[in-house]
Structure 1
């Protein structure tokens, strides 16, 4: 754990095994870099960056999901500078967001690719722009980083707050990779496969950093190519040995609903990490129903929990696979986990590896069965938000500081962790707590016209006091009044809560984070006053 990723990468300068493979479905080709080729290209980038910027400078990486991305990212680290991994501005409106992040971190340079440069030029001055493929000259030896030196800034997705850059030091990056390799049994023979975007904390670690740490192969495609044809992901998993893949819950739903490729065999999938959003029992069951007969082992499905402030990894299910429990809804809303029949089923996110995780209520460690805020302590925790004073990273517990307050609500039950919601998103009506994700699941299942995973529930204030409302995307293929009534009936019947309002919007009408999740706070700002 004490060796940096940069040192591990350059130790493979004579290794001619495949390192990174980009599956470009649009072009119909696979492009691969060996470890030796990667080290050489990274060395060239590092050498040229040192001529253009100073040690510790922030250098943004804005490129598509392509081989230029790992070359640029590791080139920045090898140059002794701080990388800022960002998204390709392929969608309208992203340029303004990216320009704001570049200003926030005071980026000296922006590394991009030939594929993305035309789009990046629209908001980055020519003097700041460097095209990775155009760099040449002799490769440089890497700078050996100090453990606490920033490796990169991970800008959060903005689902609960404005995007902020989490400072991830080399110490935390190495620790997170070590934890993930232990938790998911990743070794040199593993194939890290998937499509999660590199600018996202899960994609950056699972598809770029863990392969460097373990010396294993990464095979990736773009997120758009997965969304357009989810069966591409399934074929990717079937075509490689000892696969470790990762995706949010919605991806498992999409895959289970996609056409099944002929002859599909998923017996080589060792780990399928399900994280980044709440894991739903119905998703786990449906995925197993469809792909169990095709070789997918239930214990390979690993519900997990993490966040950018902890680099990425916090907890995960173990070799037993998914575990769930059914809790009394009213007791859970009151802060206690009581198992009953016919209540609310939750999927556990397992237990931690290489760190401490506590559930805290009123400043004290809560006993098992009591809901509180999840706090984390370990070598993988970031050092703070770039340019901001924040106590999130230095809470005091059990006689020492350095605890990360996650803002997530959870409960320990039968030795494993269950997440119940977000502290700031909690809806309180007439003294009773409601978790928005519970209302959202009920609303989306109320009528087939409501789009799955495209619902936001949040609290609203008015003359009648505090209440709750739902904004949901729908397909427009039913009577609007009927759909609204179905949502109202479902929420009232399930939770005894009368929604103040149900707003139906067209597909794409709900604001989303850069990773594709519905942004509740932004949805409340857009629709909370009755607009839409």
Structure 2
């Protein structure tokens, strides 16, 4: 069995101490791969520390301890330096996305209104695109060889992790220095990572999975991070796979949809060796049995061990990590409801329990609360996650979100089960969002699905599949263009946004 507790020496060592331990290691620390090319842009550990000290120096001239500093920058080396510089200065980082499009702008503006940052660190070409604040371009900040780190308490806030907003308005979870090091320890211990382990990926830095795995964990271990941008992954999902082959022993992470995209593109892959991949963490959204099977089938010919695929579960309020599959790899079981379910493994360094079907978590990796609110996230030491699940043979299975649960005629239906049925009903169907609705006939279910060939054949197939698998008639079905089904910033289906856009419009216009 894994150890139950994070060691005291970890929980009492400030995160910046780990950074300074790496200062004398003249070897690659962070590498950003850009395209076309490809081209690698790398900072060694001494270069990282010097640039971080420069950022800290500038922030101390303009802010006071406890001030929030927003980071709205490209996913490149500047983002890494900005985040670490804020922590080194003893300020509170607010990692955010580039405000692209109406949704992106609204997300950033909402976070600014909530966190009220004193300064915004950004990329040079974005200076005129961020909300009003004192704005500094990270590229223009000169390195520093002497700036000391701020003295911080382990309970002080390190950063605000804004939630993805799949069921509500985004809120800033307050992640302390203690929670950050605890989360890094839990991740590295679960996957047997050390200073020789490359951390590889593309998940955005403003998302908890990308921030902890690709920025926090390399500092904690003194290892190397190699990353590209989410856009470059979407343009060619095999860029992610090639990075794994180039860096034997790598640990990486991505949402379930990324595994689907990579498997679909695998036919274009030339010979490469994936036999030494350590772990591919599959989390952030429901892990589907079909995805596990398709991914294994696609990449087994290249030597990828099935056990390297690690379904996992986490959330922003737990500094991303809660449970994960271990050396056994994915476990898929069919239970009484007939649905194949994928285990998300066991906790490592924290505890879980099920109360009224809801998953609850306790451990040193928990956030302290939400910024600007008086309520405590875990007043009794246990975080009520809002996720539904159960434990079988010591492993956790997540069945859905409490707020998303659909109740029709007294029966509970999990939307992701209905979505899986919809997506398998016809080859033209892509991403789907299922949600509960109410009209004159009472409670029902509606679905919005991306479809490459909308028409009677696809619609009939979907309605028949849902009726047969779930004994549910669909109250409404919209087949839209692929890509139109709303997502959160982390790539999850946003059922609340889908309901508001389609069913809300239906209600407004009768």
Q: Is 2:367 the counterpart of 1:382?
A: yes
Aligned partner of 2:287 among 256, 279, 285:
279
Residues 325-380 of structure 1 deviation map (CA, whole Å, 9 limit, x = unaligned): 10112xxxxxxxxxxxxx2110000100011100112xxxxxxxxxx100000000
Deviates more, 1:254-263 or 1:105-114: 254-263
Aligned partner of 1:136 among 135, 142, 165:
142
Aligned partner of 1:484 among 438, 455, 459:
459
Distance verdict in 2 for CA 1:517–1:137, change over 3 Å: closer
Residues 451-474 of structure 1 deviation map (CA, whole Å, 9 limit, x = unaligned): 1xx211111111111111111122
Deviation at 1:10, TM superposition (A): 1.4
Distance verdict in 2 for CA 1:51–1:263, change over 3 Å: same
Q: Which residue of 1 aligns with 2:482?
A: 507
Q: Which residue of 2 aligns with 1:416?
A: 395
Distance verdict in 2 for CA 1:391–1:498, change over 3 Å: farther
Aligned partner of 1:405 among 384, 389, 392:
384
The SS at the match of 2:381 is strand
Take 2:398 and 2:329, find their aligned partners in 1: how far apart are those partners?
17
Residues 192-226 of structure 1 deviation map (CA, whole Å, 9 limit, x = unaligned): 00100000000000100011101110000001101
Q: Is 2:303 the counterpart of 1:295?
A: yes
Q: Which residue of 1 aligns with 2:181?
A: 174
Structure number with greater CO (CA < 8 Å, separation at least 6) is 2
Q: Which residue of 1 aligns with 2:19?
A: 9
Q: Is 2:113 the counterpart of 1:103?
A: yes
1:6–1:144 CA contact under 8 A, matched in 2: no
Structure 1: unaligned runs, 5 residues or longer: 330-342, 362-371, 395-400
Q: Which residue of 1 aligns with 2:48?
A: 38
Take 2:238 and 2:40, find their aligned partners in 1: how far apart are those partners?
17
Q: Which residue of 1 aligns with 2:7?
A: none
Deviation at 1:92, TM superposition (A): 4.8
The SS at the match of 2:53 is helix
Q: Which residue of 2 aligns with 1:526?
A: 501
Q: Which residue of 1 aligns with 2:429?
A: 450
Take 1:351 and 1:500, find their aligned partners in 2: how far apart are those partners?
38
Q: How many residues align?
A: 495
Deviation at 1:23, TM superposition (A): 0.4
Take 2:179 and 2:343, find their aligned partners in 1: how far apart are those partners?
25
Residues 402-449 of structure 1 deviation map (CA, whole Å, 9 limit, x = unaligned): 210000011111111111111111000000000000000101111122
Take 1:458 and 1:387, find their aligned partners in 2: how far apart are those partners?
31
- 1:325-344 map, 5 Å: 325-329=333-337, 343-344=338-339
Output the TM-score relative to the length of structure 2.
Answer: 0.95
Output the TM-score relative to the length of structure 1.
Answer: 0.91
Distance verdict in 2 for CA 1:211–1:138, change over 3 Å: closer
Deviates more, 1:284-293 or 1:210-219: 284-293
Residues 122-175 of structure 1 deviation map (CA, whole Å, 9 limit, x = unaligned): 3423x5110011112644111132011000000000011110000000000010
Q: Is 2:238 the counterpart of 1:228?
A: no
1:64–1:115 CA contact under 8 A, matched in 2: no
Q: Which residue of 2 aligns with 1:69?
A: 79
- 1:243-322 map, 5 Å: 243-258=250-265, 259-322=267-330
Q: Which residue of 1 aligns with 2:93?
A: 83
Structure 2: unaligned runs, 5 residues or longer: 1-9
Distance verdict in 2 for CA 1:138–1:286, change over 3 Å: closer
Deviation at 1:295, TM superposition (A): 1.0
Distance verdict in 2 for CA 1:129–1:413, change over 3 Å: same
Aligned partner of 1:472 among 439, 442, 449:
449
Take 1:185 and 1:314, find their aligned partners in 2: how far apart are those partners?
16
Take 1:383 and 1:502, find their aligned partners in 2: how far apart are those partners?
41
1:194–1:246 CA contact under 8 A, matched in 2: yes
1:392–1:406 CA contact under 8 A, matched in 2: no
- 1:104-123 map, 5 Å: 104-117=114-127, 121-123=128-130
The SS at the match of 2:182 is helix
Deviation at 1:115, TM superposition (A): 4.1
Deviates more, 1:518-527 or 1:85-94: 85-94
Deviation at 1:65, TM superposition (A): 1.0
- 1:173-252 map, 5 Å: 173-252=180-259
Residues 100-135 of structure 1 deviation map (CA, whole Å, 9 limit, x = unaligned): 211110111100012433xxx23423x511001111
Deviation at 1:249, TM superposition (A): 1.0
Distance verdict in 2 for CA 1:203–1:137, change over 3 Å: closer
Take 2:498 and 2:56, find their aligned partners in 1: how far apart are those partners?
42
Q: Which residue of 2 aligns with 1:336?
A: none
Consecutive aligned runs of 4 or more in structure 1 exceeding 6 Å deviation: none
Distance verdict in 2 for CA 1:91–1:57, change over 3 Å: same
Take 2:412 and 2:376, find their aligned partners in 1: how far apart are those partners?
26
The SS at the match of 1:61 is strand
Deviation at 1:520, TM superposition (A): 0.7
Take 2:291 and 2:493, find their aligned partners in 1: how far apart are those partners?
18
1:392–1:404 CA contact under 8 A, matched in 2: yes
Take 1:495 and 1:137, find their aligned partners in 2: how far apart are those partners?
60
Deviation at 1:490, TM superposition (A): 0.4
Deviation at 1:524, TM superposition (A): 1.1
Take 1:178 and 1:122, find their aligned partners in 2: how far apart are those partners?
36
Q: Which residue of 1 aligns with 2:5?
A: none
The SS at the match of 2:317 is helix
